[in-house]
């Protein structure tokens, strides 16, 4: 099944850059203030995670490159790129939550198997996110 194609920042294992200990390696103290999705939608973290059920692989993503650029600044994207993170296009088969800043989605495919990827800082990133 092919759902909506969304973009996300992830490593080769399909993990995003917010796992414990990683943000301190790339986060710019002058960057954007980006609250966790459960705070952004106004629910408890436990309730948000409890809603992630079914045969899906869950993650956070963006509808567009412009939306992503309001989350990560250029300095952060360069640091993430050096750490091996890439821009990945993935199929979102279920939209669990959506805010003006991000999407929480479920994919029937493992996030480690994106449709396509490219370097965060490359020109190809503009085409991937189109």
Q: Mind listing the pLDDT tens digit for each residue in 70-110? A: 899 999 999 999 999 999 999 999 999 999 889 999 999 99
pTM for the predicted model, two decimal places: 0.88
CA torsion, ordered 23, 28, 31, 35, to nearest 10 deg: 20
Domain with 77 in it? 4-128
CA angle 46, 32, 65 (to 5 degrees): 90
11-42 pLDDT tens trace: 999 999 998 899 999 999 888 888 889 999 89
C-alpha dihedral sign at 67, 15, 96, 44: negative
Domains contained in the chain, number: 1
């Amino acid at each position: 099944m092919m759902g909506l194609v969304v973009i996300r920042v992830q490593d080769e294992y399909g993990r995003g850059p917010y796992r414990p200990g990683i943000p301190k390696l790339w986060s710019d103290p002058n960057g954007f203030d980006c609250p966790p999705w459960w705070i952004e939608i106004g629910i408890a973290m436990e309730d948000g995670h409890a809603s992630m059920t079914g045969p899906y692989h869950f993650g956070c993503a963006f509808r567009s490159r412009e939306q992503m650029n309001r989350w990560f600044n250029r300095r952060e994207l360069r640091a993430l790129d050096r750490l091996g993170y890439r821009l990945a296009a993935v199929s979102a088969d279920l939209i669990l939550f959506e805010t003006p800043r991000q999407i929480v989605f479920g994919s029937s495919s493992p996030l480690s198997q994106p449709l396509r990827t490219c370097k965060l800082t490359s020109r190809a990133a503009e085409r991937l996110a189109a």
